[in-house]
Structure 1
Amino acid sequence: MTHQSDIDPPRGMTRRQSLGTLGAGAAAVLAAPAAFAQEGPPPPSTVTTPPRSFAPDAPPNVYFRDPDVLTVDPAFDALAQGNAPIRRLWTGGLWLEGPAWNAVGQYLLFSDIPNNRQMRWLQDDGHVSVMRLPSNNSNGNSFDSKGRQLTCEHLTRRVVRYELDGTVSIVADRYDGKRFNSPNDVVEHRDGSVWFTDPPYGGQLYEGTPDAPGGPSNPEGRINNRIGQPPEIGEAKREMPHGVYRVAPDGAVTRMIEETQVEDPNGLCFSPDFDRLYVASTGKGPGDTGAGGKGEIFVFDVAPDGAVSNGRLFSDCMVDGVKCAPDGLRCDVFGNLWASSNAGRVVGYSGVTCWAPDGRLLGRVRLPEVCGNICFGGPKRNVLFMAASQSIYALPTATQGAGYS
């Protein structure tokens, strides 16, 4: 995921604005409400005096349930783990994305898109180091059933796979002879096909590079898109509408979902039995001429042969009148959908939302930063990892993530 569209003020703001506003000192604005925060309606914000700290050496904050894990529907109580705190594992990125858990290596991989690097957090001692630099402004990552890393690259407008022997394979870089916009998030289907979204968010200086002069994100050519980039990047222009794609095991690429069905598709995931595909529609991106996404989640039925049908709105992601715009998506083994939340300036609504398969909001996890993407991991795959703007957070749960990462 990348850019959240402009949310109507004063309820929200663009992700770019939120990054500037909720930056390094963002932890200072998150609250520690009363001990039993589940009693009564959730407070409108999480600001307290003194402010809550999420640092590793922070004072204890858990009174059986972390006060920033909120039950909306009683069914959420079976998913939320008592006496488990939200922890900030690391901070120091610019816009963190694409968390993916490697079960063999016992590490969390994530992208720091503007810094053009992939990072790795180790389970054993919490050490964080650079795993790959440069990363071609990588965004979404996942691991397939064979343990190989799949990565979406903004800069090169392609999806790649890191093979077990150390080589890199191009999964897809064109459709019908045209370059992709900027692949964003990627997952594997159990039939071995690779599915990914292709919005235009990489067409900007911060997270990739604008189009060559005359392209939709650089129509007047005032930005020199060659500065700081390999020479082969210089001629790339946006050539296609948004889309969701499937790469068959034999390499054939098919556009499964059109821009007319989902604008600005971002995060995606399958239900545990692979009969549903969830797609987040974020906000208007660079070069878009249409209305752009509206911060919603759509769901499609998936046939055994991979065909999708019956696309429909799953949730408008409105919570207490606040737009909790989604980005990254993951299902747990019970079929509940967990979605990152960008509420901009509305402190207390950014973080993660959890939805039942029928679209009911079950609960929320509040973070002091806009959350871009999520995954389940840890030794038992029950830890919710959250890539939130500049920091990585973790929360043990009472459920497990479906799939491989």
Structure 2
Amino acid sequence: MLAGLLVVYPVSRAKADDEPIFAPDSKLKAETAKGAGGEGPAWDPELGILTSGNGNVNRLARDGKASVYREKAGTNGLLFDKTGRLVACEAESRRITRTDREGAVTVLTDRFNGKRYNQPNDLTIDSQGRIYFSDPRYGSREGMEQLDAAGKTIEGVYRIDLDGKVARVIGREVERANGVLVSADDKFLYVADNNNDDLGGARKLWRFDLTADGTVDAKSKKLIHDWGTGRGPDGVKQDAKGRLYVAGGLNKPNPRPSPRPT
């Protein structure tokens, strides 16, 4: 998800004489209600901006009025589908939900192969309405149930099809999937691989090819950018010209993380 207080880095192959990405006189403006947090911002022309913070889904209306849209939701990434329903990663409840315009909540998935998810973080929706979501775990590693055949944790990406079936499309091809984005033409899946808890952990943005049926070609994995030992990438968005915007840093120096006890 794109966090409201992160610096956004445009990743572009535009020529030097192309129009600037940001207007020269543009200024950064906070668009979240004071104290409400700015995780997973989602824009709706009627509702305004919804964000996750303080355990709630918060609303900042177009007239600037702040309110709680959904109390105690425990969400992270948010996104409206093409019919105006709010799809949410409920990190605390470890599930994906959809809320209609009347406020009715539907659980889309809370388990894969009978095991609970780690902590659904971010989501993206392709042109057919299929939902892709990341499932990392930051903080405590206790209670993680998604494991590979060798018993190692999986912090990958899943796809929810229109019939409700769920498939894991990326497993241990990444260390810790965070931000996800399907390109507008449905040809690529971008994955922010952000293992910033560990020294030497991944802080990279990857691109994978997508097939027409929504399958990820793992062999197509391509590195788009490596943040090295910096904070690493978070949410990912793309504009109409195909330029990527990645939340990937703080407005202050970031200390190196401590080694995880072995």
Same structural fold, with TM-score higher than 0.5 when normalized by the shorter chain:
yes
- 1:119 CA displacement: 1.1
Aligned residue number for residue 257 of structure 1 = 170
Indicate which of 282, 303, 328 corresponds to 2:194: 282
Indicate which of 46, 49, 61 corresponds to 1:122: 61
Pairing 1:107–2:48 present? yes
Count of matched residue positions in the alignment of Structure 1 and Structure 2: 239
Q: Which has the higher helix share?
A: 1
**Contact preservation (8 Å) 2:190, 2:208:** yes
- 1:82 CA displacement: 4.3
AA partner of residue 50 (structure 2): L
Structure 1 stretches lacking a partner, 5+ long: 4-18, 23-68, 205-209, 211-215, 218-236, 348-405
Give runs of aligned pairs for residues 5-404 of structure 1, distance below 5 A.
Answer: 74=16, 77-90=19-32, 92-93=34-35, 96-103=38-45, 105-112=46-53, 115-123=54-62, 125-135=63-73, 137-201=74-138, 204=139, 216-217=141-142, 237-240=143-146, 241-258=154-171, 260-284=172-196, 293-309=201-217, 310-317=220-227, 323=230, 325-343=232-250, 345-346=252-253
Give the alignment's TM-score, normalised by structure 2. 0.81
- 1:122 CA displacement: 1.6
Change (3 A) 1:76 1:94: farther
**Contact preservation (8 Å) 1:196, 1:245:** yes
Q: Distance between the aligned counterparts of 1:267 and 1:76, measured in 2? A: 27
- 1:79 CA displacement: 2.7
- 1:313 CA displacement: 1.3
**Contact preservation (8 Å) 1:159, 1:183:** yes
- 1:200 CA displacement: 0.9
Structure 2 stretches lacking a partner, 5+ long: 147-153, 255-262
Q: What is the RMSD of the two structures over their aligned residues, measured on CA atoms?
A: 2.9
Change (3 A) 1:144 1:91: closer
Change (3 A) 1:167 1:95: closer
Change (3 A) 1:294 1:73: farther
Give the alignment's TM-score, normalised by structure 1. 0.54
Moved over 4 A (4+): 290-293
